[in-house]
Amino acid sequence: MNKKKLIVILAALVAAIAIAFIFPSNVGRAQQVSDINVEQAASAVSQKIESLTMKPVEVTKVYYKGDLVGVLTDGSRIDQVIAEKQSSLADDNISDYKIGLSRDVYTVREKSFWNYENRDDEIIRYLDDHSLFVADTTKIEFLRDDKVTQTIYVKSISQFTEALREFVLMFVDSDVFFKLEKGEVIPALTSYGTQDVNVYLEEVIKASSSGAEVSEILDSKEAIFDWLCYGKEKNLSYYTVKEYDTVQGIASSNGLSSTQLLSLNRDIQDINQTLVVGQQLNITYFDSPISVVTESQNYVREITYPESPLYLKDDTMDVGEIKVSVEAQNGYNDNLYTEIYVNGVLSGYRQESSKVVEKPVQGVYLVGSHAVTYTGSISFGLPCYNAAITCDYYGYGGHTGVDFINPYNRYGEVLAVTNGVVTMNAHSAAAGNFYRIDAGTDENGDSFMLRYGHMKVPGYFEVGTYVYQGMIIGQIGSTGRSTGPHVHISVYVNGVQTNPCIYLPCELCRRY
């Protein structure tokens, strides 16, 4: 071999060594980079990069609310899980939901030169734990002042509409409701009675397509109706009807109004309906997440009381003698009120008009001394302003009186229903703060004594004080054995308890 050929061979060998050193072969293997322990940045599921390849592979990146959850090695895993969940619904006879991913989740398929650590199971578990596999459904939002106060998911908007209509009809007359739906205006009352004139929700309702876990979806009209009544936590209480029970008595003894009890038990149509012994009545107080506001007009004749009578001394009369100079007379006004109810509970009112029908007449008596009782005609009024009755005489067993409320002022004034002397101002476990007032003897020789019970504080007048009909003598309360503010009136005629409404003008009262 001559010297020139040797130089060429050596030069080629050196070049080959240099090329091999600069460009090592990658054929048949991936360059190992695990020793540098590269982490996948900002992913919810911790995931390492195991290797780098010269040939890109397809991966699926999963994002939730814009943040990376992780990288799926098998991009079909999500579809497989969705199919399994769909199949599970069919096994449970719930095949009419379409399962998919939450709208907050999206996936991106792309080519990558990185081999990621397989964390497919953890990524699927993350989606499950965060309830991101959902059924297509309708989201209902309730808003006040543009803020969402409640959110529910329903199977269909028609079921929600039907349930909402049924719920609203618990608090408003159906004829009025349908007229209002047609845009009709309800004319004001011109005769005595009550009528609903308007109904609306305090919340704004917004419906939109959404996704939710199947367990979250209210899937029937009945389920939606129950939610409207009691929210998510439904824990109902029931009462078993006993002999002689009445709607009024059951409502009163369980802290409800008769109207509320009727609303809770749609099979009872009327406050005077006869109940069946053993019948189960729902006595659970409404705890609705929404507020149905009903405006109801009440046109009523109300008693107006005269000023306290004048007692004029007459020196020609014997001591202890009393003569009537001017007989005291109650007056009457015709008043129109608009009452505001929220879910069946009176929350306020406004007086629309008042017309004097008959002015009251102040009584004038001639007396020979400051005597406190006399024999003669006895007049009876009502024990509070705007008086309404919540429980009649024997509304339930042992109820030997009548319960009166002022619906416009729950703790309003107690009025003397007739003239008389305070003979007892005391407190007992049953009656709470109570009065006994001796009204004297009428022209027939019958003696009358009245008891006022459950007053908020002790009566305003001491024993021995003479009070006049219509005088403010105390405050409505709920002391003693009582389920709500009222004044209990008992009437004793010749020492025997008698139905107060034989003497008091109860016909002027509404029943609650």
Question: Which residues of the chain are in CATH 3.10.350 domains?
Answer: 241-287
Specify the 3-state DSSP secondary structure of 221: helix
Q: What angle do CA 55, 56, 62 make, to 5 degrees?
A: 160
Beta partners for residue 283, in sequence order:
none
Instruction: Say which CATH class 241-287 falls into.
Output: alpha beta
**What DSSP designation does 500 have?**
G
Specify the 3-state DSSP secondary structure of 276: coil
Give whole-number Cα distances, 344 to 165, 235, 336, 340, in Å: 15, 20, 20, 9
User: If you search the block for the tokens 């998911």, which residue do you land on?
Assistant: 153
User: Whole-model pTM?
Assistant: 0.74
CA distance 199 to 196: 8
* pLDDT of res. 39: 47
Question: Which residues of the chain are in CATH 2.70.70.10 domains?
Answer: 373-512
Continuous H helices in 157-220: 157-168, 174-181
* pLDDT of res. 93: 58
CA distance 205 to 201: 9
CA distance 322 to 441: 13
pLDDT in tens, the chain (512 residues): 444 444 444 444 444 434 333 333 333 333 343 343 444 457 899 888 888 888 888 999 999 999 999 999 998 999 999 888 888 877 665 667 888 898 889 999 999 888 889 999 999 999 989 989 988 899 999 999 999 999 999 998 999 999 999 999 989 999 999 999 999 999 999 999 999 999 999 999 999 998 888 889 998 999 999 899 888 877 889 999 999 899 999 998 888 888 888 888 888 888 889 999 999 999 988 788 999 999 999 999 999 988 878 878 777 877 667 788 998 899 999 999 999 999 988 899 999 999 999 999 998 888 775 544 555 678 899 999 999 999 999 988 889 999 999 999 999 999 999 999 999 999 999 999 999 999 999 888 999 999 999 999 999 999 989 898 999 999 999 999 998 999 999 999 999 999 999 999 999 999 88
Tokens of 244: 């002689």
Instruction: Say which CATH class 373-512 falls into.
Output: mainly beta
**What DSSP designation does 372 have?**
-
Can you say how many angstroms the Cα of residue 439 is from the centroid of all Cα atoms in its chain? Answer: 44
* pLDDT of res. 107: 93
Q: 265 exposed, middle or buried (CB, 10 Å; 0-12, 13-18, 19+)?
A: buried
Picking from 283, 284, 273, the residue whose alpha carbon sits closest to that of residue 250 is 283
Contact 431, 451 (CB under 8 A): yes
* pLDDT of res. 25: 35
Report phi then psi at 283, rounded to 5. -120, 25
**What DSSP designation does 189 have?**
P
Q: 360's torsion region: left (phi>0), alpha (psi -120 to 50) or beta?
A: beta
Can you say how many angstroms the Cα of residue 75 is from the centroid of all Cα atoms in its chain? Answer: 48
The number of helix segments (H) and strand segments (E) in the chain equals: 8, 29
